[in-house]
Amino acid sequence: MRLPFFPLHMVAFPHLPLPVHIFEERYRAMTRDLLAAESPYQGRFAVSMIVDGQEADADPAARAVGTICEVRTAEELPDGRWVMLAVGVTRATLTGIDHARSYATIEALPLPELSGSDAAVLLPRAQAALDEYMRTVKQFVASAASVGKRSQEISSVAASLDEVLKPIRLPDDPLAASYAVGGVLQIELTRKQALLELPDAATRLRAEIDLLRSESRFLSEGALPPVISSDLSYNPN
């Protein structure tokens, strides 16, 4: 299927939300076409991680494996910008980019979504590794935020973190769980992309369990996690 192409400095995973702030004119036009009553796209567009160039470039180089996303809500602001919430639907190989319109379109071929061997057995291990990772993240942030503060301020920081960094319960579906962990992990975009491209949920969960454990060790030793663009409330185009 041919879909509008939206290369971004992030990795979009199936099953996960994708909030986007749209301000470039070409993507405003894309949004209007996505939402049109007779749209051939049915609200769907393709996202892929940029590997060379900027989001504002005419033709940034992006990975050949991306995610088909579907618009769930979109609001046009008085100045013509849009605030959109989409969700990842499925992975896809992306080929044949076309610049005939103001925005690019691309052929998106959905990839098989497979569970793999023993995926369900891996879920408890993934949940345990994620729980430990979240505890370590909370301890790391609390420690960093408490430097030079009084005990009352430290208690306030801890209470705030309890509200923000709540425990995450993984879905019972191994495929959805594997994508959820990929979205939570604070690692470089290239490693997130590698997780997206793995062939099945079991392989992805095994890799993520190892990553969760290693990242927990790094954080417990005081190493800083990478700051990535997908941490933003809205991903700017």
- pLDDT higher than threshold 80 for residue 132: yes
| Lowest-confidence region among 37-51, 160-174, 204-218 | 160-174
- Helix, coil or strand: residue 181: helix
- pLDDT tens digits along 141-155: 777 665 555 555 545
User: Partners of 91 in the beta sheet?
Assistant: 67
- pLDDT higher than threshold 60 for residue 16: yes
The amino acid present at 221, given as its one-letter code, is E
Residue with tokens 């973190």: 161
- Which residue did the predictor score with more confidence, 5 or 228? 5
Please, what are the domains in the chain?
2-111 (2.30.130.40), 119-231 (no CATH)
- pLDDT higher than threshold 60 for residue 19: yes
Q: Which residues contact 160 (CB under 8 A, 6 or more apart)?
A: none
- Residue 169 phi, psi dihedral angles, 5° rounding: -95, 120
User: Partners of 90 in the beta sheet?
Assistant: 68
- pLDDT tens digits along 70-94: 999 999 999 999 999 999 999 999 9
Q: Tell me the whole-structure pTM to 2 decimals.
A: 0.86
